[in-house]
Every structure is written in structure tokens, then in C-alpha cells.
Structure 1
Amino acid sequence: MCKIRYFVIALFGLYLLCGCEDALTVKPENSLTYENGLSTPKDFESFINGIDKALKTVTYMNEPNLQIKKGVYVDEYYDDSEMEWAQTLSYPSSELSYWNTWSWQMYYEPIASANVVLTYADAADLSSERRDLYKGQAWFYKALLYLEIIHQWGDCMLIRDQVELLPTAKTAWDEVADYAIDMATKAAEALPEFDKIRMANGNVATYKSIPCKGSANALLAHLCAWKAGGKYFAHHDAYDEMELWKKAEEACTQVITSGQYDLAANPEEVCTSVLLGGSRESIYETITRNFWNEDILAPVGPKHIVEEYAGWPVFPTSQPSFVAYNTCRIKASSMKEMYPQNDLRRESYFYKLDSMSHDTLLPVTGGYAYMYKYRKFYTERTDDGYIMLYGLDQNKIWWRLADIYLLRAECRARLGGSYVEGAIDDLNKIRKRAGAKLYDASEYGGDLRYAIFKEREKELLLEGQRYYDIIRNDYVRTELRGNFRTVTNQDLKDGALFLMIGSGAFNRNPLLRQNAYWHRRL
């Protein structure tokens, strides 16, 4: 099998020509090697930019993915649609071949490239500060990509330090999580805070797509929480989940107390600034705003679940009555219940929720709410005057500070005892910003953890977290629909919560085996 070095050079040559400012310079020698291509800070920075570019391609091509669709909040959707199959775990047999086309190749390519950085950083003539920066960023990318892989596929191939692609059998997801936790821990130790990062040319870091200590700690927190909460379907469950909850809580605290991040003033600012990108609340993001057409693989803007809901007044060519024909629809009555009076998210996340849901407008609105949380889409007017809509023109926000506050609240609720008061404080921090009623012990029958889950559902609506929150809290049989409600414990261990492995992953890998749950249904 070809060594990965030749493949990655070709891949990154394409990426860098498409969008990176600095092309990877390779000195003219008889034999093409990374030793002569990765020697200066500029070389390493350009190569790491290529890894970021690969991550951006994932954002363009695979967002929203089926996992997000499984848990996203929706009241109604078109029958016999992809959303229905995803939300009810009831993919028709005729469609199984379609679902089997999903591939994890786009995740493993940048992992292999991060291994190149880690292999050659120690041999290059770099200062210790530069070496730590580039190695820390490579560790971060590996940990992030593995988190995405185990979120979507569960058991998967574990590529450790190899720079050569070889047939590889699957590893249990919980073992992969351990490896990713180690990578994220190393990244958090090696990387400086965002405001201390200097680029190869001496300039300060501008974009929050650049991995730093804060983003590494946010990643570490989510990795630890995922393994801790997933013990009920883990293959090797002889581990101390409380230690993981404690480590996640500590990582969240590192982010919150770092002085690098602040909550936006109110939900309106979340919509108009934070979700666009580059705000003080944002911890890590992929830059797609104003670069919607940068990647040759994506002639339209990045994919986002909100496109299934959005219409008037965000889309200039839409009409109020078109809301009844959206793929996904949310009832105004449901949102009034979710966001009671005085909760500022009620009017920021939805367009005039109260006035547009008046009985006199029912013939127009159908009783549905108008999504307004995401407002900026890229449009272009053609020569004949027609307005073309390309997609969301906002950055992908992986984590923002409100997410980390609520994740820490969950960790503290899990830890119990002296941590409970802090959990309530974190929950109230987000409610206070929204103008919502502060926590009362009578809520949800006194179940603080469920109250935190419901607050994440409200605050992070359509931000891609809900399905993973449901799994992590073992709410699969109560918060999801259809066949999710009857899955057995063995189904969960066999991979019912995850995607089938795409057929392309089996090419030249005879050691790979399909997810056991889906293998029985092929």
C-alpha cells in the first residue's frame, strides 16, 4: 500500500492552492521527503493550515450529519423523509444502501496529516515554543477528529502515530476515547492561551479556528464527559466515570476562569454576533463566513441543520405562508412553553413569536414559529434579477462559553455533594443572561441534571448538541422517538446509536467489520 506521505502531499497541495496564503515549500532534491518540506515555522504553519482546511471540508460536506438530525428538536416533518428515518431509527431496507455510503475517510486524512507534524516537529530546527505550538495543534486536531468519529460511528479504526496507511481493525470506542483524552490533555498543556499565540510572521492570532489552550480544554471536557456518560453502552465498563466527570469539570473551569472568554450581554447578541463568529463568547470555530465558495468541493455554502427550518423573514424570496412547507416545523405553542414569558430567547431565537402566533394569523402561519436564531445567509442576484440562496454565511461554532457553563453544571450535578451548589450557580448564570426564571428545586421533580439538560436544549437549540446530550445522559428511550424507545441494552452496545460504516472504508481493509447492529440489518 502506498505510503501516506505521497498521498498527503498531493492532498495538501490541492488544499493549499485552494485557500491557504502560504504554500508548502519543498526544496528541490532527488527524493521528495518531509524532512526538506517541513523545516521552518512557515512550513509547519502552512501544513497545519491544510489540516484546518480539511476540517473545513468536513463542515461543508457533512453538516448537518445524520447524528445531528436524530436528536434535533422538531414538532413536525415531512413523512417518509430523511428526518423521519433518522429520528425514529427506522430506515427502510430499500434505503440501507444509501446510508451505507457515509464514509469516515475525510476524518482520517487530516489525522494522518497531524501525525506527519508530530513525526517531524522534533527533528526540525524550531524553538521550543514553536515546537510546542505545532505539536499541541496537531494533538488538538487528532483529539477533535476522534471525538467526531466516535460521536458518529462509535467503534472505529485507531490510527496512533503511523505515517503509513495499513489495514486496521476496529477499536472499541471507549479505548479510542482514552487515546483522544490523552491527545487533548497534551494539547491543553502545550498550547498557549489564544491571546498569546503568534503566527510565523510574528502577527497575533486573528481567527478562532487556531487551536489554543481554551479550545483544547473545551475539547477535553467534552471528551471526558462523553466517555463518562457513555459507560452504559461501553464495551469495557470497568472504569471510574466519576474521575472523568471530575476531569471534565476541571477542564471547564480552566476555560471559564482563563479570562479569555465572556458571555454575550443577551440572547440577541448571541444571534447577531456570537453565532456569526469571532466573538468573546466563542471558544473554537471553523471559518466559513465570507468564504462560502472557497472550497472547490463545495460550490455552495456550508451545510447546517437550520436550513431545514429557515424561511421567511430570513430568506428574501420566501413568504410567511411558506413556513407550512418547511422540511422541519416547530409549533409556536411548543416554543412558548419551552421559553416562558420574560425569557429573552423567546423573541431572539424566533421572529415575533407572540404577535405572529396570534389567532388572526393562523391562516398564514399555520401555528408554526419562524426560526430567527440564524439570520445571515449568502445570496447572489443573477443577471436576470433572480436571487440565488447558497447557504448559511456564518462560521461553524464548535463550542461557546454558554455550552461550557452548562456542561460544567452537568458535571457538578453528576459529582453531587459539595458540587451541587456550583451546578445551580452555573445553570442560573445562563438563565440570568436570558432573563429567565432562576432554578427552583421543584422543577422537573427535583431532578437537577434533567433541568440542566433542558436548559442546554433551550440555549443550544439547533447548534448540533442535543443528540449527543441525550446519549450522554442516557435519555435515549425517553427523549427520542420510534424504535429508539425500544432498543435493548445489547442493541446499544452493538452500535444502534451510531451510523453504519460507509462502504468506502472497507476498500483495501480486509480487517474492518461492520457495526454489529447494522450488520444484522443489511
Structure 2
Amino acid sequence: MCKIQYFVIMLFGLCLLCGCEDALTVKPENSLTYENGLSTPKDFESFINGVDKALKVLTYTNEPNLQIKKGVYVDDYYDDSEMEWSQTLSFPSSELSYWNTRSWQIYYQPIANANVVLAYADVADLSSEERNLYKGQAWFYKALLYLEIIRQWGDCMLIRDQVELLPTAKTNWDEVADYAIDLATKAAEVLPEFDKIRMANGNVATYKSTPCKGSANALLAHLCAWKAGGKYFAHDDAYDEMELWKKAEEACTRVITSGQYGLAANPEEVCASVLLGDSRESIYETITRNFWNEERLPMGPKHIVEDYAGWPIIPTIQPSSVAYNVCRIKASSMKEMYLQNDLRREAYFYKLDSMSHDTLLPVTGGYAYLYKFRKFYTERTDDGYIMVRGLDQNKIWWRLADIYLLRAECRARLGGNYMEGAIDDLNKIRERANAKLYDASEYGGDLRYAIFKEREKELLLEGQRYYDIIRNDYVRMELKGNYQTVTNQDLKDGALFLMIGDGAFSQNPLLRQNTYWHRRL
């Protein structure tokens, strides 16, 4: 395998779309090195943008959805389907070979490329502000990618400063979390707030895909909360989770009090503006809206809501098709979840009350019409048929409502003097939705569970619920099927995570399969 310093920057885009092993054995004819090529702010900015592009490519793959599907809210789905296997932890042996193809290589290539930025930023002719910006953004991307890897696969390869991907044994996920927390902490310390970032040409940052202090603190909060909440399945549980909850709470507070972000006025604005992208409520997002066709891929970004979407968002689909969607949500369930005055009731679902009238049962089948995600790519074929290509909205990683509710959870965990603040944060989101404010009679007085249920309501189908379930140790309470009978050892062995794809083993003899899945392959 050639050393990474022999690659030219112009090959970086190709690296992102190739397998790691193939990309890392490419040697350019002119032998231009990164050392020669990474020297000006424009060079570093272009390279950082390439790492951002890797995140965009990830939105076109189905890997993240494999985890998200396990906990996504759904009342009915096609039997003997991918959704059923995911939600019940009952993958048939005949399908395991299919699930065993899921690869983490696409996450490791941008980590190695972020390491190139870190290797050369200190020796390049940059100002201290420029150096802090590019190093901070590289730290941010590495930490974000590791958060995604440990949430999907648990134990994984830990690539620290290497820019050459050599055979590497797995590291316990909790140790990887420590490393990522350190990276996110450093990123939050050196990165400017979003409105203070200047691009290489002197212009202000345009897109919220640009890592900044706020996004680094949001990432830090989620990393600390993940390790704190995951103590029950950690390999080495000899750590103080309360210190981590405190660190997460403080990171959330820095985001909330920064003055950079604000809640949208109401749930309707969340659906019509925030979820599309580039709003004051959005903290960090990957830009895919209006850019998907530039990736030269046959379909738009993969998103779980495509299994729920239909009329009236997609005009070529009839109202009666709601009963045949891959995933279906009952109108009665949503009326119970979102009480009468809750504005999310009508913003997230199209005419929930009137469309669920008994007289329309032959049409609706009793199901609700998802209206939270409203913009899809469509393409008209030569014969006039409108084909749906994918969701035409940016990927919102974190928005301010998420951070308020995460801080509420942190405060509930910390207890004591923090409890009042936890209720205030919970009520902040309920007030926006015109929902009933918290009282101690809810859920038997379990404030943390009330916060979990509020996250379920506010962030419905935004990809958070499965991770919220794991973080709160609600696996046996909130999930179905075999999840209700998993043992504590199963959890430590990796039952909550994906099996490692076959491709990862071909060039890495030191790698071993997730223990839980190894027994079932």
C-alpha cells in the first residue's frame, strides 16, 4: 500500500467514491504530494470541503437507516420485511448474508483525509485563525464520523493520527467515544461561531454544513450523553457517567445561550422551513437540497420517511394508497400522542382529524397522512409519469429543539438543583407546540421518561428514536420481539449494533466480527 503523501488533492473526490483499499493504492503520475499541494487557505478549504462531500455521499447510502429502522415509530408494516426484522431483532438466517454486506469503509476514508489536514496544518503558511479553523473542522469531522460508527457498529477500528489505513484490530466503543469526545472538545474550543467564520476568499460562511463552535458543542453534547447513557453495555464501566452528563449539559447550554440559534415560531414553520434547511433553528446540516443530482447517483438521498410518504405530498399517489405504504401510522395513535391543542398534530399530519373521520375509513384504512416532510425530488419521464427520486431537504443533524430536550435529559439525570431546569427545557418545546405543560402526574412522575416521550413527539421520524432508546436503557420497554428478551451479556456483545460487513475483513486479518452476530452467522 502506498503512503498517503503520494496522493494529489485532485484525486480526493475519486477516493470518496471508491473502496478504501482501492483508493489508497492509487499513485498519481506526477507524484505531486500533499505536502506540496496543501499550502494555502484555499487548498485546505478545498480539502475540508471534500470531507464534507463524504458526509453528503453517506446520505445516499442506506447504512444509517439500518439502525434508524430498528426504533423508528411505526404501527404497521409489510410482514416478513426488512422493517419487521429490524424492529424485532429477528433477522432470518437466509437474509444474514445480505445484512453482512454493510460496510463501514465509507466512514474511514474521510477520517484518514481529515488526518491529512491535521498533519499539514501546523507546517503550512497559515495565520493562527486559519490554522485553528481548519484543524477544528478536521477534529469536528473525525468526532462526528466516530459518533456515527460507534452508534451503528459499536466496537470498531480506532484510527488516531494515521493517514495510511493499515490492518487494525477493533477498539472498545467506550474508548473510541473518549477519543471522539476529546476531538469534539478541541474543536469547540478553537472554532468560531458560525457568523464569525470567513472562507478562504474572505466571504462569510454560507451553508450550515460549515463546522463551527455551535455544531462542535452540539456534537460534544451527543457524544458525552452517548457514553454516559451507554454505561450499562460498556466493556469498561469504571467511569463517572455523572461527569459526562454534566459535560453534556454544559455543551448544550453553550449552544442555547450562544445567540446563534433560535426556535422556529411554531411546528408549521418547522415543517415548512426548518426541515428544508438553512434556518435559525438548524445547528448543523448536510446540504443535499438542490444538489443531489451532482453526485451522479441514480436516486436522491435515502431517508426513512420515504417508506411513509404518499398523498398529498406526492401528487401522483392516490389517498387510498396510504393503507399500502411500506410503513403506516394509525391516526388513532397520533391523536393519542398529540393531544387536541398540540400544534404538531396538524403540522406533522395532513388534516389528522378530518381525514380520520369514520366515513373516510374505506379510503384511509384508519391511517394518518404524514405531512412533516413535504419536499421531494420528482422527475417526469418521457411518457409523462412523475417519478419520485428522493427527499428534497437537507439532512438536519441537530436542531435547537433537539438540544433543549437533550439538556432536559441531562438535567433530569443530574437531579437535585438541575430538576427545575429540566422541566423548563421540556416546557420550552411544549410551549412552542401549544401543548400541555408538564405536571408531576405524567408517566408516574418519571420526568426522564416524559422527556424521552417528548423527544419522540418533537423529533418524529428524524432518526433519533433508536439512539434515544439505547441511551436511556429503554430497549426492553420500547422495542419489540427479541429485544425484550436480550440478556445483559447480549447487549455487551453487540446485539444493539450492526454486524460488520464482509468487505472489512478482506484486507484486515486483525479484525473480528461483533460477538453477538458472530454466533448467528
TM-score relative to the length of structure 2: 0.96
Alignment of 1:161-240 (within 5 A): 161-240=161-240
Q: What amino acid maps onto 1:442 in structure 2?
A: S
Aligned twin of 1:287: 287
d(CA) in 2 for partners of 1:373, 1:393 = 13
d(CA) in 2 for partners of 1:357, 1:50 = 47
Deviation at 1:10, TM superposition (A): 6.6
d(CA) in 1 for partners of 2:197, 2:173 = 33
The DSSP-based 3-state class of the residue aligned with 2:314 is coil
d(CA) in 1 for partners of 2:196, 2:247 = 25
Q: Is 1:73 matched with 2:73?
A: yes
Report if aligned partners of 1:348, 1:373 keep a CA contact under 8 Å in 2.
Answer: yes
Deviation at 1:63, TM superposition (A): 5.9
The DSSP-based 3-state class of the residue aligned with 1:390 is strand
Q: What amino acid maps onto 1:167 in structure 2?
A: P
Q: What amino acid maps onto 2:206 in structure 1?
A: T
Q: Is 1:446 matched with 2:448?
A: no
Aligned twin of 1:95: 95
Aligned twin of 1:476: 475
Deviation at 1:285, TM superposition (A): 0.2
Q: What amino acid maps onto 1:51 in structure 2?
A: V
d(CA) in 1 for partners of 2:11, 2:178 = 29
> Which is further off, 351-360 or 29-38?
29-38
Alignment of 1:238-249 (within 5 A): 238-249=238-249
d(CA) in 1 for partners of 2:495, 2:4 = 33
Deviation at 1:316, TM superposition (A): 1.1
Q: Cα deviations across residues 7-54 of structure 1 (Å, max 9, x unaligned)?
A: 68575143799xxxxxxxxxx996421111100000000000000001
Aligned twin of 1:429: 428
- Alpha-carbon distance change, 34 to 198 in structure 1, aligned in 2, over 3 angstroms: same
d(CA) in 2 for partners of 1:98, 1:7 = 34
Deviation at 1:106, TM superposition (A): 0.4
Q: Is 1:349 matched with 2:348?
A: yes
Report if aligned partners of 1:235, 1:493 keep a CA contact under 8 Å in 2.
Answer: yes
Aligned twin of 1:25: none
Q: What amino acid maps onto 2:110 in structure 1?
A: P
Q: Cα deviations across residues 460-496 of structure 1 (Å, max 9, x unaligned)?
A: 0000000000000000001000000000000000000
d(CA) in 1 for partners of 2:401, 2:134 = 28
Alignment of 1:82-161 (within 5 A): 82-161=82-161
Report if aligned partners of 1:64, 1:304 keep a CA contact under 8 Å in 2.
Answer: no
d(CA) in 2 for partners of 1:139, 1:304 = 27
Q: Is 1:278 matched with 2:278?
A: yes
Q: Cα deviations across residues 231-281 of structure 1 (Å, max 9, x unaligned)?
A: 000000000000000000000000000000000000000000000000000
Report if aligned partners of 1:208, 1:285 keep a CA contact under 8 Å in 2.
Answer: yes
Aligned twin of 1:312: 311
Aligned twin of 2:24: none
Q: What amino acid maps onto 2:61 in structure 1?
A: M
Deviation at 1:513, TM superposition (A): 0.2
Identity across aligned pairs (percent)? 89
- Alpha-carbon distance change, 342 to 63 in structure 1, aligned in 2, over 3 angstroms: farther
The DSSP-based 3-state class of the residue aligned with 2:204 is coil
Aligned twin of 1:269: 269
- Alpha-carbon distance change, 435 to 3 in structure 1, aligned in 2, over 3 angstroms: same
Report if aligned partners of 1:321, 1:364 keep a CA contact under 8 Å in 2.
Answer: yes
Q: What amino acid maps onto 2:231 in structure 1?
A: K
Q: Cα deviations across residues 67-115 of structure 1 (Å, max 9, x unaligned)?
A: 0000000000000000000000000001110000000000000000000
Report if aligned partners of 2:8, 2:37 keep a CA contact under 8 Å in 1.
Answer: no
How many pairs were matched up? 512
Deviation at 1:508, TM superposition (A): 1.3
- Alpha-carbon distance change, 463 to 313 in structure 1, aligned in 2, over 3 angstroms: same
The DSSP-based 3-state class of the residue aligned with 1:353 is coil
Aligned twin of 1:460: 459
d(CA) in 2 for partners of 1:178, 1:499 = 21
Report if aligned partners of 1:15, 1:50 keep a CA contact under 8 Å in 2.
Answer: no
Q: What amino acid maps onto 1:93 in structure 2?
A: S
Deviation at 1:4, TM superposition (A): 3.3
Aligned twin of 2:419: 420
d(CA) in 2 for partners of 1:305, 1:5 = 39
Report if aligned partners of 2:344, 2:433 keep a CA contact under 8 Å in 1.
Answer: yes
Report if aligned partners of 2:194, 2:205 keep a CA contact under 8 Å in 1.
Answer: yes
Deviation at 1:117, TM superposition (A): 0.2
Aligned twin of 2:402: 403
Deviation at 1:6, TM superposition (A): 4.7
Q: Cα deviations across residues 421-457 of structure 1 (Å, max 9, x unaligned)?
A: 0000000000000000000000000000000000000
Q: What amino acid maps onto 1:148 in structure 2?
A: E
Aligned twin of 1:22: none
d(CA) in 2 for partners of 1:129, 1:90 = 52
Report if aligned partners of 1:40, 1:124 keep a CA contact under 8 Å in 2.
Answer: yes
d(CA) in 2 for partners of 1:30, 1:155 = 39
Q: Is 1:251 matched with 2:251?
A: yes
Deviation at 1:3, TM superposition (A): 2.4
- Alpha-carbon distance change, 497 to 7 in structure 1, aligned in 2, over 3 angstroms: farther
Report if aligned partners of 1:63, 1:305 keep a CA contact under 8 Å in 2.
Answer: no
d(CA) in 1 for partners of 2:512, 2:227 = 23
The DSSP-based 3-state class of the residue aligned with 1:79 is coil
Aligned twin of 1:493: 492
Q: What amino acid maps onto 2:348 in structure 1?
A: Y
d(CA) in 2 for partners of 1:15, 1:349 = 39
Deviation at 1:150, TM superposition (A): 0.1
Aligned twin of 2:22: none
Q: What amino acid maps onto 1:381 in structure 2?
A: R
Aligned twin of 1:365: 364
The DSSP-based 3-state class of the residue aligned with 1:283 is strand
- Alpha-carbon distance change, 457 to 16 in structure 1, aligned in 2, over 3 angstroms: closer
d(CA) in 1 for partners of 2:106, 2:175 = 21
Q: What amino acid maps onto 1:184 in structure 2?
A: A
Q: Cα deviations across residues 119-174 of structure 1 (Å, max 9, x unaligned)?
A: 00001000000000000000000000000000000000000000112110000000
Aligned twin of 1:24: none
Deviation at 1:60, TM superposition (A): 1.1
Report if aligned partners of 1:275, 1:394 keep a CA contact under 8 Å in 2.
Answer: yes
- Alpha-carbon distance change, 236 to 460 in structure 1, aligned in 2, over 3 angstroms: same
Unpaired stretches in structure 2, ≥5 consecutive residues: 18-27
The DSSP-based 3-state class of the residue aligned with 2:126 is coil
Aligned twin of 1:21: none
The DSSP-based 3-state class of the residue aligned with 2:353 is helix
- Alpha-carbon distance change, 309 to 472 in structure 1, aligned in 2, over 3 angstroms: same
Report if aligned partners of 1:15, 1:53 keep a CA contact under 8 Å in 2.
Answer: no
